Amino acid sequence: LYWLYKQIVTMVKVTYDLAVGLNKGHKVTKRTPRFRPASNKGKLHKGTRFVREIIKEISGLAPYEKRAVELLRVARDKRCNKFLKHRLGTHRRAKKKREDMNLYIQQQRKAQAAHSAPK
């Protein structure tokens, strides 16, 4: 009998106020909150990204990043992850930095291959 009751309830949508169940409570219209500038906090803008890329290009890698690159070059990924986790504090940050360092190594290899290619 319960399944029959459930079918009837789903077919006939209950529109009045209920004290219990999925549709319980007084019916209200959902309001859309206005935009607040604080919700933009932490979003990376184009200008900021550009400036950071230039600084990174000029200054190069930090000493701990150089060590991480060396560990990755000799295929010590797990050790690199432990090292980065110790330096950066969290596993997620370490994973992100390791991916960045892998991309850096790939870019170096690509540039070296383009430079040493026969002309």
What was the pLDDT predicted at 20?
Answer: 81
Mean pLDDT confidence for 72-81: 94
pLDDT 10s digits, 56-76: 899 999 999 999 999 999 989
Give me the pLDDT at residue 25, please.
78
Question: Computed over its alpha carbons, how large is the radius of gyration of the chain?
Answer: 28
Cβ neighbours of residue 69 closer than 8 Å, sequence gap 6 or more = 61, 101, 104, 105
Give the model confidence (pLDDT) of 18-29 as tens digits: 778 887 878 888
pLDDT tier, 9 (very low <50, low <70, confident <90, very high otherwise):
low
Rounded Cα distance between 99 and 105, Å, is 10
The larger pLDDT score, comparing residue 84 to residue 116, is at 84
The CB-side HSE value for 45 (13 A sphere, CA atoms) comes to 5
Between 17 and 75, where is the model more confident? 75
